[in-house]
Chains A and B, each alone.
Chain A
Amino acid sequence: MQTKRGLRLTLKQREGVLGYLFISPFIIGFILFILAPVVQSIVFSTNKIEITSTGFDLIYIGAENYKYVLLENADFLPTLLSTTGKMLNNVFWIIVFSFFAAVLLNQRFKGRLLARTIFFLPVIVSAGVVLKLDQTDYLTGVAYDTVSSASNIPGSSFLSGQILIAFLLQLQIPRKFLELIAAAVDMIPEIINAAGVQILVFLAGLQSIDPSLYEASEVEGATSWENFWMITFPLLTPLIITNIVYTIVDFFISPSNEVITMIRETTFFGRGFGTSSAMMWIYFASIAVVLAIVMGLWSRIPLYRE
């Protein structure tokens, strides 16, 4: 320790220097591989980009790309709106489902470990390769409708809403109502497959509840129904907002997202980097607005908070 005296730093300063030393990889990485590209993509969005043999040339065109995306491109805004709507819908059902699934998995029963393993499986495999296959696959993808009459290969949708409609129409139920049901049924796999992490978060929350609370209320004669609404639910509400934010972000950056697909197509097959950067920023801004609204609303709801 004698040699260190030469530095003449107080203990506190030394701690600060050490702290910065430890996090320095992230600081460097953030500046080089996140901040710089973000700034660059702002620059790109106001330019036309031309790839040349020695690099790329930027031609400044001001807000032209934004104008094109917002005013001229007929597909972007409707897709953005419908995706946002779909996201809100999905978020609601994912939260309800994951809450329910976590309560279910928290009970003791035979095969609980296996059930948990399977429930969490989508987090491991559903992204990446599997998704890519489903998106590009002829038999499960675009051509599914036309092919399904001739072939019956097991696709990615487990229960076609159309089949259900055909069945229920025979029962003389109004068509409008049936279409709603069919849409809901078609949504099930998507909801279940996107809920892995949320289930875990709720499960962890359930397990952190002090069992003595239940013991005490049981002594007082509460039923398990009352226990659920008086103890379990209020104690888990702080986690709901965690899960809402996670779900929104997850949906937002998911490669299966229609807006993301559109942006990628614009980058590689359409008007190029400039236009797609403008699209990305508009998308980014709209999601930020959604997140702000959701969190703002949440803070107004009177709930148990830690």
Chain B
Amino acid sequence: MANAERRFSFKGVARSVKRSLIPRSFLSGVGVVLRYLIIAGICYVILFPLIGKFSTSLMTRFDVWDQTVSFIPKYPTLNNYKLAWEFMKYPTAFLNSLKLALLVSVTQLAACTIVAYGFARFEFRGKGFWFALVILSLVIPPELISTPLYLNFRFFTAWGIIPEPGLNLLGTIWPFLLTSMTATGVKNGLFIYILRQMFAGLPKELEEAAYVDGAGPLRTFWQVMVPSAVPGMVVVFLFAFVWQWNDYYLVTMYMRNQTVLPVMLENLAAAVLGDQWQQAPEEASLLNSAGGVMIIAPVLVLYAFMQRHFVESVERTGIVG
């Protein structure tokens, strides 16, 4: 209707006359070129470190010191990758990291889904208070609590159940598992928030129909609500997985001496070059680049295939509220 009105309106005619004085195709052409230039520039800035890392990983030390080499090495080599593959025990470390990331992300997803459903669909006293604490848990920097947590997991007494000096949980998956099961892992507050929005957006009739058919709350949750919330759950799972995979801080703290990728990368230079590795910083840098690429590459592949889920469903699940 709007279109039909406009076609006959006086103003519309006047405007189209005004437009025809400046060749519109020229103006919009400039706009398009400008837009592509800006976008290309921004993409360049974002991709630059990754491309740089990749090209460094293919260099030899001669390329590092060669003024004429910027991105494309003169003596390309896969030697850095060979060394990194061998000394990081890549296949084992990869599998261990994969297992850890999968376990953590699935556990976090399950815990956050349950908690989020509680916040989205039940009315109870203190709900606002507890949800405020969910948001607060996002603001607390990991560094503030990681030291006490580290000591707790080092001398784990389960708050008095296990006799002194307690168990040493460092080097096991338990520190990750315990925080994941209780929805207090890294950025879990955000996951609870996303999933709560997801559940809140589902029609009430879904549950009512299930209750009328005689399903209890647990069955309703499991058989009706969870399947309907899958889009939001995919987003949460992907983020939980990628962030756990990329995590450096907690993994190197809790899993020291284990064969997982971040720990192996940290020790890579020392492992290959021996104790004196700081004497050859450019060699260390080449090795680290290769090792880094080997850690990031799986995430990039995953992102390339799933980017629709990352980007579009974050929009749809309504982080904005």
Contact = CB atoms under 8 A, between A and B. Distances in A.
Interface of A: 1, 12, 15-23, 25-30, 32-34, 36-38, 40-41, 44, 54-56, 101, 104, 107, 109, 111, 115-122, 124-125, 127-134, 136-140, 143, 150-156, 158, 188-189, 192-193, 200-201, 203-205, 207-208, 215-216, 218-221, 239, 242, 249, 252-253, 255, 260, 263-264, 267, 273, 276-277, 280-281, 284
B42 A119 contact: yes
Contacts of A139: 56, 64, 281-282, 285
B118 A193 contact: no
A301 B302 CA distance: 43
B52 A122 contact: no
A54 to B, nearest CB: 4
Q: Would you list the 9 A-B pairs with minimal beta carbon distance, nearest first? A: A29-B182, A22-B118, A19-B122, A128-B246, A138-B281, A154-B52, A29-B184, A37-B145, A16-B124
Contact of B39 (A21, A104, A122, A204): A104
A277 B51 CA distance: 39
B35 A151 contact: no
Nearest to B138: A249
A284 to B, nearest CB: 6
Question: Do most interface residues of chain A lie in helix, strand or loop, or is the interface mixed?
Answer: helix
Contacts of B140: 34, 38
Contacts of A132: 248, 262, 266
A140 B286 CA distance: 11
A22 B114 contact: yes
Nearest to B246: A128
B201 interface: no
A120 B310 contact: yes
A305 B115 CA distance: 30
Contacts of B148: 36-38, 40-41, 44
Contacts of A116: 311
B282 A124 contact: no
B123 interface: yes
B123 A33 contact: no
Contact of B311 (A134, A200, A252, A276): A200
B155 A19 contact: no
A189 to B, nearest CB: 5
Interface residues of B, number: 108
Interface string B143-166: 111111101100100010000111
B247 A128 contact: yes
A122 B43 CA distance: 11
Question: Do most interface residues of chain B lie in helix, strand or loop, or is the interface mixed?
Answer: helix
A154 B149 contact: no
B281 A133 contact: no
Contacts of A18: 118, 122, 217
A266 to B, nearest CB: 10
Nearest to B303: A124
Given A34-B140, A125-B50, A264-B143, A138 B282 contact: yes
Interface string B20-58: 000000000000100110110011111111111101100
A118 B118 contact: no
B111 A249 contact: no
Interface stretch (B81-89, B127-135, B226-234): B127-135
Contact of A249 (B49, B139, B145, B183): B139
A216 B203 CA distance: 31
Contact of A152 (B69, B125, B133): B69
A220 to B, nearest CB: 8
Given A25-B181, A221-B15, A34 B9 contact: no
B242 interface: yes
B320 A28 contact: no
A264 B144 CA distance: 10
Given A30-B182, A139-B56, 4 more contacts: A26-B182, A121-B303, A130-B53, A280-B144
B315 interface: yes
A27 B52 contact: no
Contact of A33 (B53, B143, B149, B320): B149
Given A101-B42, A260-B141, A29 B48 contact: no
Contact of A153 (B38, B56, B114, B182): B56
B259 interface: no
A118 B262 contact: no
B137 interface: yes
Nearest to A154: B52
Contacts of B320: 201, 204-205, 208, 239, 242
Contacts of B67: 151-152
Interface string B234-265: 00000000110011110000000000001001
Most-contacted residue by chain A among B69, B152, B214, B311 (CB, 10 A):
B311
Contacts of B69: 152
